[in-house]
């Protein structure tokens, strides 16, 4: 088995799985449907086209930096008029970083890796107003998605890593699982589920697993202020 790793970092991200009408929320971790949509965009697949070859990919995501939720109140009005024709509240994650992994056939993932490195359509993290910062593609790893996320170095910003004065840090992974009693999330894409005329999502089971990784910024130096 092979896993493709993707770094999802930006000043703002938004991963909504239950947004309705004028209130658009965000989950605290990327959704599977959004990441599969990102891969489809990289391949040049349009919203009305089938993504059947991507449906069997298993998904996991590790939180490198949780960030914080920001709220944006938006209004829109016609030119020359003061009364808004629409009012909405949209939520975003600010300064968050995630490491996502998709697990599947090695040949398929090798093609997806090249597509992400040279995307056909622009990539964004949940919404078009949220382009990624830095390269998205990390690379391919042998093993399952959960194995890859257990072994990969911590990708937090240096300032965040330095603030954690410990040699190892515990990070949380949200991963696909086959346990029917696990948490259910409605973000499983279907073959033509991105068609704007008839969007559809299925349910998937998710397990949340802690993993321990080294802190690259840790320095075992005595600080006299620690006693204070």
Domain boundaries, the chain: 2-77+85-217
Q: Which band of pLDDT confidence, cut at 50, 70 and 90, is reported for residue 198? A: confident
Rounded Cα–Cα distance for residues 44 and 122 (Å): 10
Quote the pLDDT of residue 207: 96
Q: Which residues, in sequence order, are bridge partners of residue 9?
A: 97
Residue 227: partners with Cβ closer than 8 Å, 6 or more residues away: none
> Strand, coil or helix: what is 8?
strand
Cα 127 to chain center, whole Å?
A: 12
Reported as a single tens digit per residue, the pLDDT across 14-29 is 998 776 656 678 999 9
Helix (H, G, I), strand (E, B) or coil at 187: strand
Which tens digit of pLDDT belongs to each residue from 37-68? 999 999 999 999 999 999 999 999 999 999 99
Pick the more confident residue, 81 or 139.
139
pLDDT at 35: 97
Task: Tell me how far apart the alpha carbons of residues 73 and 91 are, in angstroms, rounded to a whole number.
Answer: 9
Residue with tokens 């937090």: 156
Query: How would residue 194 be classed by pLDDT, with cut points 50, 70 and 90?
Result: confident
Fold of the domain spanning 2-77+85-217: Alpha-Beta Plaits (3.30.70)
Residues near 221 by beta carbon (within 8 Å), at least 6 away in sequence = none
* Out of 102-106, 166-170, 197-201, least confident range: 197-201
Whole-prediction pTM: 0.89
Q: What is the rounded CA–CA span in Å between residue 218 and residue 194?
A: 44
Q: Which residues is 104 bridged to in the sheet?
A: 2
What residues pair up with 75 in beta bridges, in sequence order? Answer: 87
Identify how many contiguous H helices and E strands the chain contains and give both numbers: 4, 9
Please compute the mean of the pLDDT values over residues 166-183 and round it to a whole number.
94
What local confidence, expressed as pLDDT, does residue 84 receive?
A: 67
Burial class of residue 108, CB neighbours in 10 A (0-12, 13-18, 19+): middle
Are 166 and 215 a contacting pair, CB within 8 Å? Answer: yes
Nearest to 33 by CA among 21, 17, 9, 47: 17
Distance CA(125)–CA(31), nearest Å, equals 10
């Amino acid at each position: 088995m092979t896993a493709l790793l993707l770094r999802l970092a930006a000043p703002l991200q938004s991963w909504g799985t239950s947004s309705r009408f004028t209130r658009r929320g965000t989950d605290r971790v990327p959704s599977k449907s959004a990441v599969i949509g990102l891969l489809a965009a990289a391949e040049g697949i349009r919203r009305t086209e089938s993504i059947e070859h991507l449906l069997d990919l298993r998904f996991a995501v590790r939180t490198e930096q949780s960030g914080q939720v920001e709220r944006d109140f938006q209004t829109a009005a016609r030119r020359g008029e003061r009364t808004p024709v629409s009012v909405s509240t949209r939520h975003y994650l600010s300064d968050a970083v995630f490491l996502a992994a998709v697990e599947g056939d090695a040949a398929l993932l090798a093609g997806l890796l090249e597509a992400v490195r040279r995307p056909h359509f622009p990539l964004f993290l949940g919404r078009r107003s949220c382009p990624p910062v830095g390269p998205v593609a990390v690379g391919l790893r042998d093993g399952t998605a959960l194995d890859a996320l257990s072994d990969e170095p911590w990708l937090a910003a240096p300032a965040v890593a330095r603030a954690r004065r410990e040699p190892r840090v515990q990070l949380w992974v949200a991963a696909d699982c086959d346990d029917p009693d696990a948490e259910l999330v409605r973000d499983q894409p279907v073959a033509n589920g991105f068609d704007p005329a008839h969007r559809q999502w299925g349910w998937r089971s998710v397990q949340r697993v802690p993993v321990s990784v080294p802190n690259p910024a840790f320095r075992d130096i005595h600080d006299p202020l620690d006693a204070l």
